[in-house]
Structure 1
Amino acid sequence: MKNLKYWILSIMGFVVLSCSDEVSEIEPAGNPVMEIEEQFTDVHFGDILPFTVTVSDDISLSTLTAVLYFGEEEVERTTIRTKENGTYSGTIEVPFEKDIPDGTATLEFILLNTTLKSTVQSFDVPITRAQYPYLILVSDNASYPMLPTGVANEYAATEAFPSTDLSAYIKTPVVDDKGTEIVFGWEAGAVTNGVSTNIPFVSSVAGTYSVTFNTKTYAAAPFFEIVLNGQKMNMVDKENYQLDITLTQGEDISIEGLGNIAEWWIDADYLTKQEDGLYTFVPMSGKYRIYANLTLQYFRIEALDGNSPAVLNADGTGAVWIIGDNVGKPSLAEKTVGWNTDNALCMAPIGDKKYQVTLVGGENISTDGINFKFFHQKGWGGEFGGTAISTGSDIVFIGDGTNGRDSGNLGLVSGVTLEEGATYVFTVDVSAGNDQAVLTVTKK
């Protein structure tokens, strides 16, 4: 049997080698020829560009491929199966993207026969951004024409809009038989093409105002602007803005654009108010993500590692997060954390591997009972269980799974209630190790 196995394997190897030799002996042959009607004029970004090619050869043909290049970069490709000599028609899409200047693209045709012999023909194709007679601003209740403003690629609709908030997307007309309708909507906090999600326009004035849009740069207005230390915060939606920024402990932070900033709730763990719109940064120096919520009138601040929420590192640096019930910022009524990890609170890193959160009884923390815990990240994973954290507090206790709280969850000591309006500072110290954390709770 063993000899038979080796004999079979040797025969298989011979067959494979024979087949390989046979394939390698195929020589390109034939004479593929193509005639292409020149029709590549008045081309715009976003067009569906048609082509017609007559092909022939004295042996069987295989495929006709059209490839569009912007400079050296291939941006689109389409392939047609050519079963026999004759005339073939197809289309190739011209991409419509932000900030691409007018210029000359290369359209290359490759005709291939069954012996892999090919012929190639290329055309220079001037491509421009269409100058539309108008755009259309489409809201849920009405549509408005956007007319050229005289600035290159810019259009505007000036109307007595029903509200300062206008949710709408934008679309183009079809300008010729090659053209397509291009739509512009809102995605990932910016205007982009290819989606029709409403753009959250917001005007600072009521009544008649202008909505503008540039089909090249995608610059749009009006939007509400918040400027932090000279940097414009990025609009996530009409209620939320954010900015990733490196800050230094003790640094002055200026906030402009909020006429009602005196009414905003300021998180004492991160900001000390000097005057309305001017604050001092409290925690350790580092990179942070600052969210501004116009509805809650609250700046939520989170420590970052690169572009991601920071985690508690093995050496005790990084971040500690709070998830659970009976705690919330700017208030329990407006934003209780709960067990939704998206709502996790980032404790302020105050140095020496210590992390702090300041809570006011009846406002940010329930007075008659608590049930939250500390985590290594903004989400499930590493956490401070009952054996990893201890406290000598006479205000709170740490659950062990048998004392009325799950392991690591906090509760109020029996007979204790928090004072309404009193301030409580919770500090987690991991300087002795992440599995030997110490919690202190101080009433101020």
Structure 2
Amino acid sequence: MKTLKYIALSLLAAACTTACQDDPELLTTDIGPEMTAVSSDASGVFGGKVGFEATMTDRYALSTLKAQVFFDDEMVAEEVIRTKENGTYSGTVTLPFYKNIPDGEATLRLVGQNVRFGVTTLERPLNVTRPKPDHLTFVLGGQEYRMEPTGVDYEYAVTADFPQKPQGYITTPDLDGQGSVVTFGYSAEQGGIVSDSTEPIPFANSNAGEFAVTFNLKTFEGSPFIKLLFDNTEMTMVDNDNYSIVTTLTQNQTYTLTGVSDFAGWDIDRDFFERADESNPEALTFLPMSGMYKVTANFKHSYLRIEAMKSATEYASLNADGSGNAIWTVGAGIGKPVIKNGDGWDMASTGLCLARVADKKFQITLVAGISINASSFNFKFFWPKDWDKGEFLGKEDASFANPYGVLTTASDLIEISDGGNLGLAEGKTLELGGIYRFTIDVSGGTMAAVLTVEHDGNQPLPAADLQINGTKMAQLDADNYQLDLDLTQGQTLTFGGADMFTPAWINPDFFEAVSAASAKVIPVSGKYRISANLATKVIDALVLNADGSGLATLSDDGHGAVYFIGYGIGSPAAADEPGWTTEKGVCVPEAAPGIYKMTAQAGKEGSTVLGQRFRVSGWDGKFFGARGWADLGALTSTPGTEALLDVSKGNINMAADVTLEEGADYELTLDCTGGKNAPVLTFVKK
């Protein structure tokens, strides 16, 4: 009762302090209700329910009856029942399902309280055991697999023909005859399997096929998990696709990576490693200068990513005199192992580290059509892996707000803008399949950096004979092809080549599928750039100027094309939203004179489902009259649109407390018949 008295005294003191302010006096008592434990379960199982029943009477109004479970001195579960009147109250409290807790005696504590904070406590011993159900169930997508005991204490397993990553969750049957079911999923925060979760457990085998999935109901250990060893040290699982290790690497020393069954087919960054022995693909020779590096094995792209480190948690950088261990690059049109893996300005996730090949000399090697766009790119160099803390400009600029260096080049292939962005010199393109080495020499310090660009041979790209109406498409890179055509509204196009290429998705703003390999033209007649991606089997298009000189813009009278830039709309899926990278603006064609129409499904942020191009929430973007900062006039919306989208602040945002229905079809129309300065937005659910 000591604790109760201390609480009561504190409350009385508070009441006295406030009484001089004419506030109502807080009435308390240290006498709790009269309480009798009618019954309570003497035993229970982890994850199961424990029943209790108690009678309570008091001269004061009752407040609550609490059933609390204690493991030693720690309260691990509680159930609260509101109790206004004298009487008998009953209920259950659910025992937690912890790992590695042995069977033993817990305490069930019943705590009755009245409105004056008087408390009465009754305690009963409670024998708690870990259940051993006759089976568990592994839930993988829409399929369930029965897991049987293996003979090892608390271990269950199922053997079946699984994909390489059978990522699902595990559930128990009813544990106590009262419907008590416990699920086991993955927690990235805790780095393992936890109870009361259905987050997919990232099980992964070396390959698809018949293998066993196991789980131990006591230790929460499961299998299979890929165990990667780099130089005989286990790598840490970062997420479902990435394993990493920070270690010291020595120039010209050979290291091994084991645990990847198909590692012979992985992309090895030629700036950092070369395979030491073709007969032993796991052996890698380190090429740059010695230092601390993070090695990341990425299963999504079958790629080994190397980044220079200052410490176990800090990325490397440069000093003003050019000393240091790293230069970084990010931008549009480049990425490793392929362009689409890094295309954009997200430094944290796609920034690439240059290799320090000599003191104060750094390089990155890119292949035109694979890791750099052969005809268009826009990227720049930084010395930390961060924005606004050190970037190379194309000229000295004392007015620049952030720390900066100066990068120049004598290359006739590359131009460096005053802001430091690298692009192709006018009239130049890279040779498809060409290997280009970009080297930055900072011997003179960051204010006198020099870039050289070397064409170091070629490598073949896989090519396919893709055709539209019998005309061959031009290959842009390993996966992408394009063809510029004059199209007539309503015209039928036939796709051929590449073993009769059958698209998985055709942009419905431009085309309507007629058959498996043909489509009808939807927009107004004009010149269009049709693109095909062999990897994703997506057919898309852009609107061109009538003379084919470039991408169409919106004329003053409202004809041409419009582009969405920002967040909320992506194409061909929500995951492809452009953000504020203008080069990735989503093109919407002219469906009728001055009318721009886009039809798509709603999908969650990051959805990769083809056709789910509208985000269900979190829109923040706007339409432009070009793939750049070509503003339209003030946007207004038609009646009813404001219930879904808000344009009152200039950008297009989702209306307050609105979420689109996932999987439902919506239609967006931008009416520019009044000219580019009077656009009107309509957005409806179809």
Looking at structure 2, the residues matched to 361 and 50 of structure 1 have their Cα atoms a distance apart, in angstroms, of 70
Q: Secondary structure at the match of 1:242?
A: strand
> How far did 1:382 drift?
4.1
Aligned partner of 1:143 in structure 2 is 144
- Shift of the 15–278 alpha-carbon distance from structure 1 to 2, 3 Å rule, reads closer
Gaps of 5+ in 2: 1-15, 398-403, 457-686
In the alignment, does 2:421 pair up with 1:393?
Answer: no
Match of 1:65 in 2: 66
What is the aligned partner in structure 1 of residue 227 from structure 2? 225
Contact 2:185 2:195 in 1 (8 A): yes
Instruction: Give the superposition deviation at 1:135.
Output: 0.7
Q: CA deviation at 1:207?
A: 5.5
1:438 aligns with 2:438: no
SS in 1 for 2:242: strand
Q: How does 1:8-407 map to 2 (within 5 A)?
A: 16-18=18-20, 23=25, 28-140=29-141, 142-159=143-160, 161=161, 163=163, 165-178=165-178, 180-188=180-188, 190-204=192-206, 208-235=210-237, 240-250=241-251, 252-275=254-277, 276-281=281-286, 282-286=288-292, 288=294, 290-303=295-308, 310=315, 312=317, 320-332=327-339, 335-341=341-347, 342-348=349-355, 355-375=362-382, 381-382=388-389, 384=391, 386=393, 387=397, 388-395=404-411, 396-400=414-418, 407=419
Post-superposition shift, 1:195? 3.2
RMSD between superposed Cα atoms in Å: 3.7
2:206 and 2:260 in contact (8 A); partners too: no
CA distance in 1, matches of 2:391, 2:170: 50
Q: Displacement of 1:151 after TM fit?
A: 0.9
Identity between Structure 1 and Structure 2 (%)? 33
Alpha-carbon contact 1:337-1:345 (below 8 Å) kept:
no
Q: What number of residue pairs does the alignment pair up? A: 418
Q: In the alignment, what sits opposite 1:11?
A: none
Q: One-letter code of the match for 1:195? A: S
Distance 1:218 1:430 in 2: 55
Task: Please report how far the alpha carbon of residue 378 of structure 1 lies from its aligned counterpart in structure 2 after TM superposition.
Answer: 5.2
279-288 or 47-56, which moves further after superposition?
279-288
The superposition leaves residues 332-360 of structure 1 with CA deviations (integer Å, 9 ceiling, x where unpaired) of: 3x634333443222334668676542334
Displacement of 1:249 in angstroms is 3.4
Give the drift of 1:162. Answer: 6.0
Residue 410 of structure 1, aligned match among 411, 414, 422: 422
Q: Report Cα offsets for 1:11-54 as digits up to 9, x if no partner.
A: xxx99452589848x56354522222452333122223332221
CA distance in 2, matches of 1:285, 1:145: 50
Q: Which amino acid aligns with 1:118?
A: V
SS in 2 for 1:79: strand
Secondary structure of the equivalent of 1:392? strand
Q: 1:148·1:156 contact (CA, 8 Å) conserved in 2?
A: yes
Structure 1's 294 and 105: CA in aligned 2 closer, same or farther, altered over 3 A?
A: same
- The answer on whether the counterparts of 2:342 and 2:351 sit within 8 Å (CA) in structure 1 is no
Alpha-carbon shift at residue 63 of structure 1 (Å): 2.7
CA contact (8 A) 1:270 1:283 kept: no
Aligned-partner Cα distance in 2 for 1:306–1:178: 53
- Report the equivalent of 1:426: 439
Amino acid at match of 2:304: F
Change (3 A) 1:242 1:22: same
Instruction: Return closer, same or farther for 1:431/1:131 CA change in 2, 3 Å cut-off.
Output: farther
TM-score normalised by length of structure 2: 0.53
> Tell me, what secondary structure is at the counterpart of 1:262?
helix
After superposition, the Cα gap between the structure-2 partners of 1:298 and 1:208, relative to the gap in structure 1 and judged at 3 Å, is closer
The Cα of 1:73 is off from its aligned counterpart by 3.2
Counterpart amino acid of 2:305? R
SS in 2 for 1:274: strand
> Are 1:44 and 1:179, in contact at CA under 8 Å, matched by a contact in 2?
no
Tell me if structure 2 keeps the 8 A contact 1:50–1:178: no
> How far did 1:235 drift?
5.0
Measure, in 1, the Cα distance between the counterparts of 2:115 and 2:31: 9
Structure 1 pair 140–371 and aligned structure 2 pair: CA distance change class (3 A): same
Over 3 Å counting, the alpha-carbon distance change for 1:418 and 1:394 in structure 2 is: farther
Gap regions ≥5 residues in structure 1: 1-13, 401-406
Between the aligned partners of 2:78 and 2:449, the Cα distance in structure 1 is 62
* Corresponding letter in the other structure for 1:150: G
User: How far apart are 1:83 and its partner, in Å?
Assistant: 1.7
Distance 1:287 1:426 in 2: 20
> How far has the Cα of 1:299 moved from its partner?
0.6
Q: Distance in 1 between matches of 2:300 and 2:77?
A: 44
1:139-189 residue CA offsets vs partner (Å, 9 max, x unmatched): 335322111111111101134x26555343321100223452222234537
Q: Secondary structure of 2:128's partner? A: strand
- Residues 196-233 of structure 1: per-residue CA shift (max 9 Å, x gap): 34445444576543221112222222344332222334
Distance in 2 separating the partners of 1:37 and 1:252 = 73
Call closer, same or farther: CA 1:391–1:168 in 2, change over 3 Å.
closer
Structure 2 residue identity aligned to 1:325: A
Q: Distance in 1 between matches of 2:33 and 2:257?
A: 68
Q: Which moved more, 1:342-351 or 1:60-69?
A: 342-351
- Taking the aligned partners of 2:342 and 2:224, their CA distance within structure 1 comes to 33
- Match of 2:264, SS state, is helix
Cα separation, 2, equivalents of 1:91 and 1:129 = 18
Q: For the structure 1 residues 302 and 54, does the alpha-carbon distance in structure 2 shift closer, same or farther, using more than 3 Å as the test?
A: farther
- Contact kept? 2:162, 2:211, Cα under 8 Å: no
Deviates more, 1:380-389 or 1:87-96: 380-389
Shift of 1:234: 4.5
RCO comparison, higher one (Cα < 8 Å, 6+):
1
> In 2, are the aligned partners of 1:360 and 1:421 still within 8 Å (CA)?
yes
- How many Å separate the matches in 2 of 1:103 and 1:320? 58
Which secondary structure state, in structure 2, belongs to the residue aligned with residue 174 of structure 1? coil
How far 1:110 moved relative to its partner?
Answer: 2.5
Cα 1:271/1:217, change in 2 over 3 Å: farther
Tell me what 2:575 maps to.
Answer: none
Tell me how far apart the structure 1 counterparts of residues 367 and 351 of structure 2 sit (CA, whole Å).
18
Whether the 8 Å CA contact 1:326–1:366 is kept in 2: the answer is yes
Measure how far apart 1:72 and its partner are. 3.5
Q: C-alpha distance in 1, partners of 2:38/2:310?
A: 57
Distance 2:202 2:115 in 1: 55
